[in-house]
C-alpha cells in the first residue's frame, strides 16, 4: 500500500511554501510503485463500477456489439453493464505489442514490451513563437511542425494535428492534414479517429501510399472518454472504424480529477481504469486482435481557479500506477510528457514538462504523446518549447541507452597510469572519446557568465528560437513517388468537391 497522507485542516494564509510542516519525506521505491494488493484493489473497484454503475455508449452499433457479446444493455439510457468475466475474456485478445508501420520502413516503431516512442503535442488551437507571438494556427504552422518532427529523431512520430489549420475549411481539413503528413514526413502517421467519414478518408489516402491495409497498422489515434463513464458518438465512430480496419486506438480517459471523477487519486484511477477496459473490450468485439493501447491522462483541476493543473504530484502517481494497470492486462501503455500550464517557455514550463515526462518514462509508457511543443494548458504549441522539449527527449533517449561497463570503459589501466593527483584531460583514452562520450547538448549554454553576457545574455527560449530556425533550414523532404503524390492530390480534389457542404462535426 502507499502511505496515506495525513489529513490537513484548511490551510493557513500566506504562500503555500510557508505552510509546509517540517517532516522528512520517505522514499517509496519498490520494483513497482504501487504494491500488488493496492493494484488489485483498484482492479476490483473498476470491475465493480462496470458491473453495477455501467458505462454509456452513445452509438447504436456499439450497443449492438455489446448486446451480442452478452452484456446487459439499457437501450433507452444507452448504458451497458459488463460482467467481469465477460470483460476479462474480451480484452484477452488484445495484443501486448504491435508494429506500427511508417511509409519509410526504417521508421517503423514497436508499441509494447520495453520499447518507447515519443510523439509531439496534438490538438492545439494556437501557434506561438517569439517573433510572431500567439495566433490561431494555420496550415503553414502545421507544415513547419511536421518538418521539425521529421527532422529530429528524438521524436518517433511527426504527424498529429499539432495545431489546427484555421485557414482550411473544417470539413476538408483532415484531407489536407493527411496529405501534408505524407508529403513532408515518412514517420508513422497519427490521424484523427473522429466519427466515421474522416477515418474512411484517412484510410483511403493511406492505402494509396501503403497498398491494402491488411497487415500491421499504419495509423492510430487517441479515443477519449467523456468522463465520467461515457463514450460519445464521434469517439465511437472513430474507435469502430479504426479497430475494424486493424488500426491502433489509444483508449484514454481525459480526467480532470475533481470535475470528471472524484477528487481523490484512487477514485480517478479506479474510474479511469474502468473506462479504459470498457473501450479496449469494444475494440476486441469489433475485431479480435485489433491493436489497442491503454491510455492515461489524469490530472487535477485547480478547484480554486477552475483550471486544469499539469505536471503535478497527483498526475505523476496516476501515470505511474496507470502503467502498472496496463501491464496487469498485458496492454501497451500510453502516457504524456511535456505538459504545462505556463504561457511562456520559462522555468515553469520546463518544470511541469519534466514532472510529466519523468513519471511517463518511469511508468514505462510505450508511447509518450504531447512530448514536444505543449504550452498554455494544451491550447498553444510553442516553437521554442518544442525545441526545449526535443532536447529533453534526446536526453532521455541517451539516458535509456545505459552505459558501457566493459574493461575498456572501466579503464583501470588508465586510472593506474594517471595515478593519484594527476589529470585525465590529455590521455589517449579521453582524446579518443571526448567528442562522443557525453550527450551532445544543442540548447544548453555552459560557457560561463562573461561569455554568456558577451553573447547577448539569451535565455533558453531565445536560443530555442534560433534552433528551430536552424532545424527548419536543414529540413529535407523525404522522397515520395510522383504517381502516389498525384493520386493523393486527385483524392483530395475529389473529396473536396464531395464534402463541400458536409458538416462533419455537427
Q: What part of residues 230-269 is at the interface with a second copy (CB under 8 A)?
A: 230, 257-267
According to CB under 8 A, which one of 84, 99, 153, 179 is a site residue for a second copy?
153
According to CB under 8 A, which one of 17, 76, 482, 483 is a site residue for a second copy?
17
285 contacts a second copy (rule: CB under 8 A): no
Total of residues contacting a second copy (CB under 8 A): 173
Contact in structure between 121 and 381 (CB atoms under 8 Å): yes
According to CB under 8 A, which one of 346, 478, 496, 504 is a site residue for a second copy?
346
Contact in structure between 335 and 367 (CB atoms under 8 Å): yes
Kindly identify the residues of this chain, within the stretch 288-307, that bind a second copy according to CB under 8 A: 300, 302-305, 307
CB-nearer residue toward a second copy: 54 or 246: 54
Kindly identify the residues of this chain, within the stretch 456-475, that bind a second copy according to CB under 8 A: 457, 459-461, 464, 467, 470-471, 474
Kindly identify the residues of this chain, within the stretch 41-70, that bind a second copy according to CB under 8 A: 41-42, 45, 48-49, 52-56
Burial zone of 379 (CB within 10 Å; 0-12 exposed, 13-18 middle, 19+ buried)? middle
- The distance of closest approach from Cβ of residue 71 to a second copy in the complex, given in angstroms and rounded to an integer, is 14
499 contacts a second copy (rule: CB under 8 A): no
133 contacts a second copy (rule: CB under 8 A): no
Sheet holding 374-375, edge to edge: 133-136, 126-129, 380-382, 374-375
- The distance of closest approach from Cβ of residue 327 to a second copy in the complex, given in angstroms and rounded to an integer, is 11
According to CB under 8 A, which one of 162, 344, 369, 373 is a site residue for a second copy?
344
Site of grid cell 491550447: 379
Q: What is the pairing mode between strands 219-225 and 72-74?
A: unpaired
CB-nearer residue toward a second copy: 169 or 457: 457
According to CB under 8 A, which one of 404, 479, 497, 506 is a site residue for a second copy?
404
130 contacts a second copy (rule: CB under 8 A): no
Contact in structure between 268 and 298 (CB atoms under 8 Å): yes
According to CB under 8 A, which one of 181, 248, 390, 488 is a site residue for a second copy?
390
- Binding window for a second copy (CB under 8 A); candidates: 136-144, 193-201, 407-415, 484-492: 407-415
- The distance of closest approach from Cβ of residue 50 to a second copy in the complex, given in angstroms and rounded to an integer, is 11
CB-nearer residue toward a second copy: 47 or 172: 47
276 contacts a second copy (rule: CB under 8 A): no
Kindly identify the residues of this chain, within the stretch 182-221, that bind a second copy according to CB under 8 A: none
According to CB under 8 A, which one of 87, 91, 152, 290 is a site residue for a second copy?
152
Cα–Cα dist 51/69, whole Å? 15
Nearest by Cα to 427 from 413, 443, 438, 441: 413
**Would you tell me how many other CB atoms lie within 10 Å of the CB of residue 359?**
25
- Binding window for a second copy (CB under 8 A); candidates: 208-216, 244-252, 352-360, 485-493: 352-360
112 contacts a second copy (rule: CB under 8 A): no
CB-nearer residue toward a second copy: 304 or 503: 304
113: left (phi over 0), alpha (psi -120 to 50) or beta: left
According to CB under 8 A, which one of 294, 317, 329, 491 is a site residue for a second copy?
317
Q: Which long-range contacts (CB under 8 A, 24 or more apart) does 18-25 make?
A: none
93 contacts a second copy (rule: CB under 8 A): no
Beta bridge partners of 117: 367
CB-nearer residue toward a second copy: 126 or 210: 126
- Binding window for a second copy (CB under 8 A); candidates: 88-96, 235-243, 285-293, 411-419: 411-419
76 contacts a second copy (rule: CB under 8 A): no
- The distance of closest approach from Cβ of residue 40 to a second copy in the complex, given in angstroms and rounded to an integer, is 11
339 contacts a second copy (rule: CB under 8 A): no
- The distance of closest approach from Cβ of residue 384 to a second copy in the complex, given in angstroms and rounded to an integer, is 8
According to CB under 8 A, which one of 434, 454, 486, 505 is a site residue for a second copy?
434
CA distances from 387 to 249, 309, 381, 444, 460 (A): 28, 22, 11, 11, 10
Contact in structure between 379 and 423 (CB atoms under 8 Å): no
CB-nearer residue toward a second copy: 203 or 293: 293
- Binding window for a second copy (CB under 8 A); candidates: 160-168, 191-199, 281-289, 448-456: 448-456
What's the half-sphere exposure (Cβ side, CA atoms, 13 Å) at 197? 15
Burial zone of 494 (CB within 10 Å; 0-12 exposed, 13-18 middle, 19+ buried)? exposed
According to CB under 8 A, which one of 162, 202, 247, 312 is a site residue for a second copy?
312
Q: Measured over all CA atoms, what is the biggest interatomic distance in the chain, rounded to whole angstroms?
A: 82
E strand or H helix that includes residue 97: strand 97-100
Angle at the Cα of 280 from the Cα atoms of 251 and 272, rounded to 5 degrees? 55
Cα–Cα dist 410/415, whole Å? 9
According to CB under 8 A, which one of 399, 477, 486, 493 is a site residue for a second copy?
399
12 contacts a second copy (rule: CB under 8 A): no
- The distance of closest approach from Cβ of residue 498 to a second copy in the complex, given in angstroms and rounded to an integer, is 34
**Residues 6 or more apart whose Cβ sits within 8 Å of residue 33:** 2, 317, 320, 321, 324, 362, 363
**Residues 6 or more apart whose Cβ sits within 8 Å of residue 201:** 174, 175, 178, 491, 495
- Residue 49 DSSP class: I
Angle at the Cα of 84 from the Cα atoms of 82 and 87, rounded to 5 degrees? 70
**Would you tell me how many other CB atoms lie within 10 Å of the CB of residue 483?**
9
Amino acid at each position: 500500500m502507499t502511505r496515506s497522507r495525513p489529513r490537513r485542516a484548511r490551510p493557513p494564509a500566506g504562500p503555500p511554501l510557508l505552510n509546509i510542516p517540517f517532516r522528512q519525506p520517505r522514499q517509496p521505491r519498490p520494483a513497482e510503485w504501487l504494491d500488488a494488493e493496492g493494484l488489485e484493489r483498484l482492479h476490483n473497484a473498476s470491475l465493480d463500477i462496470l458491473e453495477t454503475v455501467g458505462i454509456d455508449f452513445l452509438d447504436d452499433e456499439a450497443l449492438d456489439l455489446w448486446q451480442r457479446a452478452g452484456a446487459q444493455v439499457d437501450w433507452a439510457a444507452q448504458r451497458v453493464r459488463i460482467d467481469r468475466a465477460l470483460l476479462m475474456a474480451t480484452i484477452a485478445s488484445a495484443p501486448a505489442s504491435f508494429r506500427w508501420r511508417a511509409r519509410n520502413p526504417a521508421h517503423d516503431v514497436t508499441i509494447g514490451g520495453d520499447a518507447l516512442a515519443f510523439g509531439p503535442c496534438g490538438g492545439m488551437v494556437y501557434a506561438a513563437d517569439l517573433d510572431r507571438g500567439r495566433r490561431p494556427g494555420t496550415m503553414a504552422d502545421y507544415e513547419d511542425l511536421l518538418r521539425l518532427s521529421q527532422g529530429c529523431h528524438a521524436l518517433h512520430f511527426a504527424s498529429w494535428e499539432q495545431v489546427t489549420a484555421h485557414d482550411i475549411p473544417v470539413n476538408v481539413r483532415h484531407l489536407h492534414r493527411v496529405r501534408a503528413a505524407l508529403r513532408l514526413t515518412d514517420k508513422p502517421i497519427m490521424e484523427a479517429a473522429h466519427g466515421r467519414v474522416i477515418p474512411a478518408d484517412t484510410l483511403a489516402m493511406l492505402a494509396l501510399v501503403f497498398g491494402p491495409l491488411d497487415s500491421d497498422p499504419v495509423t492510430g489515434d487517441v479515443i477519449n472518454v467523456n468522463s465520467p463513464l461515457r463514450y460519445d458518438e464521434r469517439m465511437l465512430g472513430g474507435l469502430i472504424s479504426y479497430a475494424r480496419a486493424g488500426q491502433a486506438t489509444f483508449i484514454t480517459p481525459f480526467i480532470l480529477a475533481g470535475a470528471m471523477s472524484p477528487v481523490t487519486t484512487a477514485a480517478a484511477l479506479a474510474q479511469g481504469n474502468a473506462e479504459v477496459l470498457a473501450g479496449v473490450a469494444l475494440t476486441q468485439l469489433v475485431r479480435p486482435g485489433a491493436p489497442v493501447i491503454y491510455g492515461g491522462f489524469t490530472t487535477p483541476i485547480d478547484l480554486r481557479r477552475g483550471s486544469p493543473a499539469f505536471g503535478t504530484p497527483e498526475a505523476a502517481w496516476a501515470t505511474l500506477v496507470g502503467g502498472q494497470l496496463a501491464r496487469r492486462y498485458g496492454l501497451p501503455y500510453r502516457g504524456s510528457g511535456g505538459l504545462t500550464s505556463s504561457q511562456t517557455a520559462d522555468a515553469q514550463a520546463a518544470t511541469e514538462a519534466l514532472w510529466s515526462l519523468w513519471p511517463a518514462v518511469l511508468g514505462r509508457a510505450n508511447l509518450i504523446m504531447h512530448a514536444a511543443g505543449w504550452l498554455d494548458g494544451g491550447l498553444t504549441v510553442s516553437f521554442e518549447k518544442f525545441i526545449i522539449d526535443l532536447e529533453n527527449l534526446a536526453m532521455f533517449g541517451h539516458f535509456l541507452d545505459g552505459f558501457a561497463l566493459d574493461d575498456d570503459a572501466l579503464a583501470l589501466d588508465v586510472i593506474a597510469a594517471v595515478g593519484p593527483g594527476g589529470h585525465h584531460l590529455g590521455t589517449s583514452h579521453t582524446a579518443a572519446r571526448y567528442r562522443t562520450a557525453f550527450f551532445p547538448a544543442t540548447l544548453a549554454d555552459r560557457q560561463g557568465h562573461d561569455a554568456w553576457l558577451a553573447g547577448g545574455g539569451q535565455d533558453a527560449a531565445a536560443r530555442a528560437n534560433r534552433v528551430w530556425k536552424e532545424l527548419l533550414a536543414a529540413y529535407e523532404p523525404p522522397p515520395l513517388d510522383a504517381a502516389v503524390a498525384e493520386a493523393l492530390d486527385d483524392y483530395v480534389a475529389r473529396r473536396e468537391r464531395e464534402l463541400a457542404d458536409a458538416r462533419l462535426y455537427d
